Amino acid sequence: MTVELFVFPPSPRAFKVMAVANHLGLDWTLRMVDLPGGAQRQPDYACLNPNMRMPTLRHDDYVLWEANAIAQYLALLRPESGLLPAGERARLDVIRWQFWDLAHLEPAYTPFIFENVVKPAFRGGEPDASALARAEEPFQRTLRVLEAQLGENRYVTGNILTLADFSLGAAFVHAAASRLPLEPYENVRRWYADLAGMPSWQATLAAAEMPAQAAA
């Protein structure tokens, strides 16, 4: 059977896994998890993912959750792609940035997407200016790390596209709507424009029904 991805496509965490599957040219099926409708809490979904969150992968009788682990599984279906390098140190470098994504980048941008996109679209609320002000310093501190890394490399781990680019790049798919303060980060904006130019990225944005936004 094909790979099934249980996703709510507008989410950056869904984007990560869909973009990797598209980039690899895998035969995969989208299973919609309607988050605003509460599908993640339905018993048939909760028994696939006890966290009651998405994304989740099912491939025959194998079930996997956590977006970055799913991305690794997909890359291992096409090892020749190099998205997850074979060499130990090169692979650990990619994995290191995927951990950094969860530990640093996601917490840094989440308040912006929550206040400026999720609240107005799904909760009928206004952005909380004090929450956005508190988010500013950790966001800038985190982006400075990525900016420096991308000052030395075309892609996150060097001159070759890897899963690290998919995991981190997904943070910026809603950059404009989230009002991410990216003006000082020229290298990040150049790198994201490069990613957004890939046919797989464009196809994923289209599937998620999101306009292709420049990270600016």
The distance of closest approach from Cβ of residue 14 to ligand GSH in the complex, given in angstroms and rounded to an integer, is 7
Does the footprint of ligand GSH cover residue 19 (CB under 6 A)? Answer: no
Alpha-carbon torsion (156, 161, 167, 170), positive or negative: positive
Residue 164 within binding range of ligand GSH, rule CB under 6 A: no
CB of 117 to ligand GSH, least distance (A): 11
Considering beta carbons, is residue 7 or 188 the nearer one to ligand GSH? 7
Q: Does 35 bind ligand GSH (CB under 6 A)?
A: yes
Residues near 61 by beta carbon (within 8 Å), at least 6 away in sequence: none
- The residue (of 53 and 189) whose beta carbon lies closer to ligand GSH is 53
Encoded tokens for 10: 């507008």
Q: Does the protein bind ligand GSH through residue 168 (CB under 6 A)? A: no
Residues 40-69 that bind ligand GSH (CB under 6 A): 40, 52-55, 66-67
Task: Compute the Cα dihedral for 120, 126, 131, 136 and give only its sign.
Answer: positive
Which residue, among 38, 22, 87, has the nearest Cα to 14 in the 3D structure? 22
Angle at 68 between CA 144 and CA 54, to 5 degrees: 115
Residue with Cβ nearer ligand GSH (14 or 147): 14
173 vs 189 by CB, closer to ligand GSH: 173
The distance of closest approach from Cβ of residue 106 to ligand GSH in the complex, given in angstroms and rounded to an integer, is 8
Q: How many residues bind ligand GSH (CB under 6 A)?
A: 10
CA separation (Å) from 108 to 6, 22, 58, 116, 210? 25, 27, 30, 14, 22
C-alpha to C-alpha distance for 8 and 39, rounded to whole angstroms: 10
72 binds ligand GSH (CB under 6 A): no
Q: Could you list the residues that contact ligand GSH (CB under 6 A)? A: 11, 13, 35, 40, 52-55, 66-67
